[in-house]
Structure 1
Amino acid sequence: MKSKTVDQSKVSVGHLMQPDQANIEGNVHGGEVMKLMDSCAGIVARRHSRRNTVTAMVDELEFMYPIHVGELVTCYGQLTYVGKQSMEVLVTVTVEDLQLSQPPKVALTAYFTMVALDINGNPTAVPELELRTDEERRLYEEGEKRYLRHKENRQKRKEKEKAEK
């Protein structure tokens, strides 16, 4: 399986926020934004793996600015780490009020762990990630640390569950 670069799977997806995505005050529901982010991460993972993918985990989701009806939300997705079957995708969300002449602001970011599936729905191998820049290497190293931390936490939970039985 040939490796792929980060740029080969990067995406940006824009959405104009609508009234049905918000509460009566015009604030867009966090779940609506999370859904857009999940879709963006899924596109990145599918472009890289050329397989169906599912979300295994969302890490470090932090809302920094509210999002309102009528604003343009753009989700930028890129791979940061690739394991054997899983891929970590950083999704950055910007918000822009199209009535003002201000640059977009980063509203939130999150790391999505996506798993590639074969035709039977089982996890399957994905191409390695070819790193070309210092920034890509830095993000990869940080992603690998998160991956190992989550793996250790899963193992601890399994051991605790086994001990409780």
Structure 2
Amino acid sequence: MQGKKASESRTELTDLVLPPDTNFLGTIFGGNVMAYVDKVASICAMRHARAMVVTASSDSLDFIAPIRAGEAICLVGYVTYTRTTSMEVYVKVEAENLVTGDRRLTATSYLTFVALDDDGKPTPVPPVIPETEEEIWQHTGAEERHMQRQKRRDIRKERQKAEDSKQETEE
């Protein structure tokens, strides 16, 4: 399968943060940011795979700074790495002061998506070709992030297995 440039999946979204979007401190609800991140990442993954996708995991959503009512929330995402049927997507969130034009980083996130065929089964995706310095840096670290995700999944499976075994013993 021929590779696709990371830039082909690049997705940008900007929206105005209004008072109903904020908490009692006047900053955007974290859940709203999470929804924006998932939406942008989904579009990135679908652009790369040209298939339907599902969110398989959200590694992290690191909040760095708040976004206040009256500012714009600006998200940029792209596919950083692929395996056989899965894709890692990076999303960066910034706040923009629309009067001054100043921007600041407010959050970063990594999510994993799986491409699905018409029957809802995992389907192969093309490899990603990083070009810019940032894309290369993200791509280089992706295998380590994948291994960390796999380790977390294995630990959860072992814990669940032990919990199930404990329940069976108690019954």
TM-score, normalising length: structure 2 = 0.87
Q: CA deviation at 1:81?
A: 1.3
Q: CA deviation at 1:75?
A: 0.3
Question: Which residue does 2:107 correspond to in 1?
Answer: 108
Q: CA deviation at 1:137?
A: 3.1
Q: CA deviation at 1:158?
A: 2.5
1:67 aligns with 2:39: no
Q: Distance in 2 between matches of 1:135 and 1:95?
A: 20
CA contact (8 A) 2:5 2:129 kept: yes
Q: CA deviation at 1:102?
A: 4.9
Which amino acid is the alignment partner of residue 68 of structure 2? H
Cα root mean square deviation, aligned: 1.8
Q: Distance in 1 between matches of 2:142 and 2:127?
A: 14
Question: Which residue does 2:55 correspond to in 1?
Answer: 55
Structure 1 spans left out of the alignment, 5+ residues: none
CA gap of 1:70–1:149, structure 2 versus 1, over 3 A, is: same
Question: Which residue does 1:139 correspond to in 2?
Answer: 138
Which amino acid is the alignment partner of residue 110 of structure 1? S
Question: Which residue does 1:23 correspond to in 2?
Answer: 23
CA gap of 1:35–1:123, structure 2 versus 1, over 3 A, is: same
1:93 aligns with 2:118: no
> How many equivalent pairs are there?
164
Q: Which has the higher helix share?
A: 2
Which amino acid is the alignment partner of residue 146 of structure 2? Y
1:39 aligns with 2:39: yes
Where has structure 1 moved over 4 Å in runs of 4 or more? none
Which amino acid is the alignment partner of residue 127 of structure 1? P
CA gap of 1:11–1:162, structure 2 versus 1, over 3 A, is: same
CA gap of 1:21–1:134, structure 2 versus 1, over 3 A, is: closer
Structure 2 spans left out of the alignment, 5+ residues: 166-171
Q: CA deviation at 1:104?
A: 0.5
Q: What secondary structure does 2:70 align onto? A: coil
Which amino acid is the alignment partner of residue 47 of structure 2? R
CA contact (8 A) 2:90 2:109 kept: yes
Q: CA deviation at 1:18?
A: 2.1
1:130 aligns with 2:124: no
CA gap of 1:109–1:25, structure 2 versus 1, over 3 A, is: same
Question: Which residue does 1:152 correspond to in 2?
Answer: 151
Identical aligned pairs, as a percentage?
A: 38
CA gap of 1:163–1:131, structure 2 versus 1, over 3 A, is: same
TM-score, normalising length: structure 1 = 0.89
Question: Which residue does 1:120 correspond to in 2?
Answer: 119
Which amino acid is the alignment partner of residue 161 of structure 1? Q
CA gap of 1:14–1:133, structure 2 versus 1, over 3 A, is: closer
